[in-house]
Amino acid sequence: MAAINDLIAQIKDSELRARIEAELDRMNKQKKFGLVFEEHLPESVKLYDVPVKKNSIVMEKAGGKNVYKVISVEDGIAECIDTGTQEAKTFNLAELVSIAQFGTPIYPYLKPIDSICNAPDSDLWHTLIEADNYHALQLLEYMYAGKVDCIYIDPPYNTGARDWKYNNDYVDGADEYRHSKWLSFMQRRLAMAKKLLNPKDSVLIVTIDEKEYLHLGCLLEQMFPEAHIQMISSVISPQGATREKQFSRTDEYIFFVGFGSGAPQPLALSEEWSAGASTLAGSTSIVWDSLKRRGSGASRADRPGLFYPIYVSEDGTHIVRIGESLSEDMPRSSVASLPGCITIWPLRSNGEEGRWQISQEQLSEKMKNGYVRLGKFDSVGGMSISYLKRNEQNKVESGIFQVIGRREDGSIITSEAEEKQKRVCGTQWRIASHNAGTYGSAMLLNIFGTKRFHFPKSLYAVHDALRFFVANKPNALILDFFAGSGTTLHAVNLLNAEDGGHRRCIMVTNNEVSVDEAKSLTTRGIQPGDEDWEKLGIARYVTWPRTLCSIKGVDIKGNPLKGNYISDKEIPMSSGFKSNAAFFKLGFLDKNSVALGRQFRELLPVLWMKAGAVGPCPKLETEDLPTWLILPENKVAVLIDDNQYYAFKQEIEKATGIETLFIITDFEREYAIMADELGIPNTFQLYRDYLDNFRINQSR
């Protein structure tokens, strides 16, 4: 560097010398190590509910990429200037839509769309917000900065299959900048997520596949150096998804980013989770081993005499019969089934025929003594079966462990600690219920009857990822800002049903339609923003209907859902969930109207959410604004007319349970005095608090 500086100093042209010095300084500040990518211009967002008028910044509704400024509007015709080329152009007003460009302050509100109350005695309300998730995240920062316990996201995988948009256009595999566009897209949203998470104890969970996992891992390391980060592999498609000129894909990856004390909690896990699991019980409990041989010598050909069927009752509670060994040339298809039973074979994870660890005689003897334990049926008709090896059996028979009872399958219970043994699992998850086809696509098909969403997550894959971090947090606040089909809220409801928790879920999703639907609608003259277009968007066609159906316990036609949830508790899907949820669309307000107090009605749902979304979202029943609102069921109060402060104070002192207070006043000193006198823990000044904090789209 010294030599370069000496050479620069010899340049006589002072202007050129200054320019080179500035450029060199810029280069020195660039990263030399870690993830380096093009930081693309931020995305713009179409605002269909914001009127187009003079000076509006707009785009064409269908297929437009250019940005225009409206110069004049007359008789339904808009005269515009292209902000890039400065060329003039004329449009029918109906062809244009207002847009929000990053750097332009906009002020959000929540427009109620629908709600469901299936637990009128509960004050717990989940929320779905239809919005571009960046703006929704800035809205949520105003409400919940540093208060979120868990964020679970399943972002676009950037496969090149036109599965996500950047600046209102699909990014395909031929785009040479698709990786850096994806990283720019993710970086902005993860930066907002960081502001929301509780730095003392929280977790960010991100799923991804092989297309971007390396980039994502580097981005997470770069953005969250204070966090502890781990990636696990989860089998979601045991049969494999074909990749041209590649190995078939069976798994995906999950990054867990823990903040502060946020860490996976030991849980009572089935034997399916045993690979790499560490147990808290240590030497104080016996170890059940897999009856199916693993590792070397595990094929049928290695020990033909140990390839035999085990007939388990259809309800999975007990072994009915142990079959005979098959000769080497005898196919298992030649063995007759047993009425009322499921035939269990020792099949390996790749579908090949394996073998059991012990003979029929040994297995029968162990069954008599309670040394054989049944797991759960898996998606392909198999079952995990465990048994006690000789060393563990000796611990029981020598009295080291006392038998205190038996399970339904006849296996012994040696102690309360052993029965409730808790473990932290390993980094390889091969769990039958995580199959995305059986417990994702098929579950949605059960609800909708037709295919409405591609590649939904298994309900139980999300459920299990969450419960490692929120099982000990019954009041956790959980956020998913790539909500997709709505699996996360479904999983949170299941967790609450299992343990009586009061966890709250916020979901955010846009309302994009599929590529094929967009083409069909455009051909029919239907444009984005039209009702016929919007009703087919993901939020309204998939996410919210799934939420309604899962809470009610019915399919889209109102028929009871079939089957039970996979859970330690017997939970029929038809029973639904004792749960409430509200559906909103993010809209935008005029700053001056807000400052003049003309849009309190529109802001009320925002205040409700900021106060914790307790109870049903309140509504104003009259056209005129009251002087105050005191809402005990929502634990919130609002002083609307500060001239009525003393009368309000008398009423608020009579009320019970108020935890959040909003005071509308332009005078900061008076606000401070009122807030101090009322002594409510969470007090905010409107509209200053709103306007100062909601400079959406503007760097802070």
Q: Which fold has domain 108-227+437-582?
A: Rossmann fold (3.40.50)
Q: What was the pLDDT predicted at 417?
A: 46
For 45-103, the fitting CATH number among 2.30.30.140, 2.40.50.140, 2.40.420.20, 3.20.20.70 is 2.30.30.140
Q: What was the pLDDT predicted at 139?
A: 92
For the cut 50, the answer to whether the pLDDT of residue 490 exceeds it is yes
| All structural domains of the chain with their residue ranges | 1-30, 45-103, 108-227+437-582, 288-421, 617-693
Q: Which residue has the higher pLDDT, 245 or 31?
A: 245
pLDDT-derived band at 700 (thresholds 50, 70, 90) equals very low
Q: What was the pLDDT predicted at 280?
A: 44
- Span 192-199, mean pLDDT? 97
Phi, psi of 655 (to 5 degrees): -75, 155
pLDDT-derived band at 168 (thresholds 50, 70, 90) equals low
Predicted TM-score (pTM) of this structure: 0.75
Q: Which residue has the higher pLDDT, 612 or 272?
A: 612
pLDDT over 90 percentage in the chain: 60
Q: Of 175-179, 324-328, 651-655, which gets the smallest average pLDDT? A: 175-179
Residues in the chain: 700
For the cut 90, the answer to whether the pLDDT of residue 45 exceeds it is no
CA distance 574 to 559: 9
Q: What was the pLDDT predicted at 635?
A: 96
pLDDT digits (tens, 9 = 90+) for 518-544: 888 888 988 888 899 899 999 999 999
Name 412's bridge partners.
Answer: 406
Indicate the average pLDDT of the chain: 88
Q: What was the pLDDT predicted at 11?
A: 87
For the cut 70, the answer to whether the pLDDT of residue 450 exceeds it is yes
68: left (phi over 0), alpha (psi -120 to 50) or beta: beta
pLDDT-derived band at 651 (thresholds 50, 70, 90) equals very high
Q: Report yes or no: 487 and 465 within 8 Å, Cβ to Cβ.
A: no
- Span 443-459, mean pLDDT? 92
Q: Report yes or no: 452 and 516 within 8 Å, Cβ to Cβ.
A: no
pLDDT digits (tens, 9 = 90+) for 263-291: 999 888 877 887 666 544 344 567 888 99
pLDDT digits (tens, 9 = 90+) for 83-115: 888 999 999 998 999 988 766 677 889 999 999
CA distance 382 to 346: 8
Q: What was the pLDDT predicted at 608?
A: 97
Q: How large is the angle between the packed helices 668-678 and 645-654, nearest 10 degrees? A: 20
